Each structure stands twice: as C-alpha cells, then as structure tokens.
Amino acid sequence: MKLLFVFILIMAPLMSSCNNLNQPLDCSDIYQQDKSKPSGVYTIYPMGGRSAVQVYCDMATAGGRWTVIQRRIDGSVNFYRPWDFYKMGFGSAAGEYWLGLDNMHYLTNKQQKYELLVDMEDFEGKKVFARYSSFKVGAECGGYILQVSGFTDGGAGDSLIYHNGMKFSTFDKDQDLWPENCARKFMGAFWYNTCHYANPNGVYRWGADNSLFAVGVVWHHWKGYDYSLKTISMKIRPVQ
Ligand SMILES: [Ca+2]
C-alpha cells in the first residue's frame, strides 16, 4: 500500500505532462514544450483528445506562439464555400486554410484570453499589420458572434472593429444586418455587418481590380475596396 502511494506520487506529474505533450491545445502549448521549434505545420487538439487538426504555427513574429486561424497566400484554395465548411474548417495547413468556427470558439472560450494579429502584404512586397488585444468567437447557437477589441495599428488601420458583435454569414446562411446577402454580394464569408470593411475570405484577385466592387481579399483601411491583397493571415495566441 505504501509502495503504491509512492508510485502514484512519482508518476502523477509525469502523467499530466505527458498528456500535455501529446495533445497541445494550440501553437502556444507547442512553443512552451520546446521554444526552439520553427514556424511550420503542427497538430493541435483544440477540443481535446479526438479533435486533432493540422495548423500553421507562426513561431517567429512578435514573440511567436501564434496559431494561424485563416491564411491566404496564393489563391490556390476556393474560399467561396457554404456554412458547413466554415463551421468545420477547410484547406491545407501548409498553404491556404480556414481553421473552422468550432475550433475558434473552443480555443477562445477557455479561461485564457486570446489576442489577434492580422498580418498582410500587397503585391509590391509592403507588409503591415493590425493587432487586437482581445479576440473571441461565440457559440454556434448564437451565430458565432465576433468579439474583438484593443486595436493597435501596424500600418493597416482598423477595418475589423466595424465587424465587432456581428454573427458569421456564408452565402447559404445570411446572418448579416443588410437586407440582402453580404456573402453572395461580396463573394466571401465573414462576420458581415451591412456589409464590410474587411473581406479576408473574398476572391483572390492578384491585386488592383475594380471590375467588381469589393469582392476581393480586402482590408479597406489600408488599400481600399478595389485592391485584393497578396497575403493575409489571422493568428491568435493566449495573452501572457
Ligand atoms: Ca442579410
């Protein structure tokens, strides 16, 4: 009996750290395990044991630990998709993808507060960012409401605050505040208001193009409605 007690005492910390090692919740957990790990594709478990999902971890920008939840880099993935895809996630962690609203909800509704960094680049190679000290996605039953605040300007301007408090909309699920359908009109999926200042899931159009109004990968406060960005990525991490 005494031996068993000692055994449990010795094994307890091992067992708990083992669980953590095998099932990191996000890229911040992966970073804490080994601070020398480079940026790249890793497996995380945002909803526990059976929720394995591949993501891109940014371990370099502003201290690293970022879990990328959305990324456009080359137009290789079609982002004009219905509700179920935005709920569950799609694309490739090594390239363009959307992590999924369920994963975003679970990650950002744990005890720790999350911050958001939006990195973007134009076709001339100029890079800017917008940073928010608080980012949270509500539950599906409430429409995955976006809560974002605490803006810091890295040259991009604040195109997201207009979307704060909005429900998520896709072309087949209109939860925006416009009488018509924002997702259909602007060929994306987002927390549309009436409709947008940011359309990161819009059509990849390789730069300036005013043939169709504001349907591109738009961040209005930086490049206006007629410019579709070369890259944009939204990444989150727990506030330390
Ligand atoms: Ca509508």
CB 80 within 8 A of CB 187: yes
Beta strand residue intervals within the chain, DSSP E: 40-44, 53-58, 66-72, 90-91, 97-98, 114-121, 127-137, 146-154, 198-199, 207-208, 218-219, 227-228, 231-238
Residue of 103, 20, 94 lying closest to 69 (CA atoms): 103
**Is 7 a residue whose pLDDT tops 70?**
no
- Quote the pLDDT of residue 14: 43
- Quote the pLDDT of residue 13: 44
- Quote the pLDDT of residue 21: 58
Class of the CATH-defined domain 27-238: alpha beta
Q: Where are the alpha helices (DSSP H) in 25-92?
A: 27-33, 83-88
Query: Residue 187 Cα, ligand 1 centroid: separation in angstroms?
Result: 14
CB 223 within 8 A of CB 229: yes
Query: Residue 79 Cα, ligand 1 centroid: separation in angstroms?
Result: 19
Structure confidence by residue, pLDDT tens digits, 167-202? 999 999 999 999 999 999 999 999 999 999 999 999
The structure tokens listed for 211 are 């043939």
Confidence label for 10 from pLDDT (cuts 50, 70 and 90):
very low
- Quote the pLDDT of residue 2: 53
CB 95 within 8 A of CB 76: yes
Between the alpha carbon of residue 169 and those of residues 9, 29, 61, 180, the distances in Å are 51, 31, 30, 12
Query: Residue 97 Cα, ligand 1 centroid: separation in angstroms?
Result: 25
**Is 8 a residue whose pLDDT tops 60?**
no
Query: Residue 69 Cα, ligand 1 centroid: separation in angstroms?
Result: 25
**Calpha distance 110→98 (Å, rounded):** 20
- Quote the pLDDT of residue 49: 84
Rounded to the nearest integer, the mean pLDDT of the chain is 92
Residues 6+ apart with CB under 8 A from 127: 119, 120, 121
Q: Which helix (H) or strand (E) holds 7?
A: helix 2-22
Any idea which residue has 């940014």 for tokens?
58
- Quote the pLDDT of residue 65: 98
The structure tokens listed for 58 are 């940014």
Query: Residue 181 Cα, ligand 1 centroid: separation in angstroms?
Result: 4
Structure confidence by residue, pLDDT tens digits, 13-72? 444 444 455 799 999 999 999 999 999 999 999 988 888 999 999 999 999 999 999 999
The structure tokens listed for 37 are 């790990």
Taking residues 112-133, report their average pLDDT: 97
Structure confidence by residue, pLDDT tens digits, 136-170? 999 999 999 999 999 999 999 999 999 999 999 99
Angle subtended at Cα 201 by Cα 47 and Cα 69, rounded to the nearest 5 degrees:
30
Query: Residue 169 Cα, ligand 1 centroid: separation in angstroms?
Result: 9
Query: Residue 189 Cα, ligand 1 centroid: separation in angstroms?
Result: 12
Residue 58 has phi, psi (to 5 degrees) of -95, 105
Query: Residue 166 Cα, ligand 1 centroid: separation in angstroms?
Result: 12
Query: Residue 75 Cα, ligand 1 centroid: separation in angstroms?
Result: 27
**Is 103 a residue whose pLDDT tops 50?**
yes
Query: Residue 93 Cα, ligand 1 centroid: separation in angstroms?
Result: 31
Query: Residue 162 Cα, ligand 1 centroid: separation in angstroms?
Result: 16
**Calpha distance 106→68 (Å, rounded):** 15
Give the domain ranges of the chain: 27-238
Residue of 209, 207, 189, 208 lying closest to 199 (CA atoms): 189
Query: Residue 184 Cα, ligand 1 centroid: separation in angstroms?
Result: 10
Query: Residue 209 Cα, ligand 1 centroid: separation in angstroms?
Result: 25
Pairing type for strands 146-154 and 127-137 reads antiparallel
The dihedral built from the CA positions of residue 67, 174, 148 and 221, taken in this order, carries a sign that is: positive
pTM: 0.90
Query: Residue 207 Cα, ligand 1 centroid: separation in angstroms?
Result: 28
Ion ligand 1: residue ranges with CB closer than 5 A: 174, 176, 178
Query: Residue 225 Cα, ligand 1 centroid: separation in angstroms?
Result: 20
Residue of 151, 183, 149, 146 lying closest to 165 (CA atoms): 146
